[in-house]
Chains A and B, each alone.
Chain A
Amino acid sequence: ELKVEQNPLFLSMQEGKNYTIYCNYSTTSDRLYWYRQDPGKSLESLFVLLSNGAVKQEGRLMASLDTKARLSTLHITAAVHDLSATYFCAVGGGSNYKLTFGKGTLLTVNP
């Protein structure tokens, strides 16, 4: 059974600081997705990572995938308050349809 672990689950940081969220998964996969969820809202797709060594950047967020280590990272550069949200990683299994989600990382960026 595929298991996905995120850490930390809670992250409080100051504006301007850098930090990394980690996503480990238990079985081989080459499909990993990062989503953002604001309170009471739906999940917004941030990144799709499909191969070992894939790196994608959007604004202050950068995601990478190491399929050999079964690890993805979401790096936050010079955080701003607007980045406050819950971030989920999700890993694809044998078929694209089934995603296994981590528990999410609640990020709070303090002014």
Chain B
Amino acid sequence: GAGVSQSPSNKVTEKGKDVELRCDPISGHTALYWYRQRLGQGLEFLIYFQGNSAPDKSGLPSDRFSAERTGESVSTLTIQRTQQEDSAVYLCASSKSTGDSNQPQHFGDGTRLSIL
């Protein structure tokens, strides 16, 4: 597609429920990134994929968070047993590779997650 696509754009759910967020990167982009943006804050790195592998998961806040990527394309970020502090905008980005600094990361519009 023309840009990074994320769905849903908004998600409201009750505390304790599981949620799944989806990201479709730009076609041909091998690197994919997930960030979290709390209200009025900068972006917090969560995880990145090179191809289908996630070499660095250290940014994931807890073991309730997991992510996967298949076909070097779509990625899903899953949050289990959601808590109110999980409320944030979750942003996905992609780039052609992780090795080329000249390539900026291209961001989707994000999923606004609200935990009641």
Which positions in A face B, CB cutoff 8 Å? 4, 31, 33, 35, 40-45, 48, 50, 88, 90, 92, 95-104
Contacts and interface: CB of A to CB of B under 8 A. Distances in A.
A90 B95 CA distance: 15
Nearest to B93: A43
29 contacts: A4-B42, A33-B105, A41-B109, A42-B3, A42-B4, A42-B107, A42-B110, A43-B107, A44-B107, A45-B105, A48-B101, A48-B104, A88-B42, A92-B101, A96-B95, A96-B99, A96-B101, A97-B33, A97-B98, A98-B48, A98-B59, A99-B33, A99-B43, A99-B45, A101-B43, A102-B42, A103-B40, A104-B41, A104-B42
Nearest to A43: B107
A44 B98 CA distance: 18
Q: Is the interface of B mostly helix, strand, loop or mixed?
A: loop
Interface of B: 3-4, 31, 33, 35, 40-45, 48, 50, 56, 59, 91, 93, 95, 97-110
Contact of B104 (A33, A102, A103): A33
B109 A98 contact: no
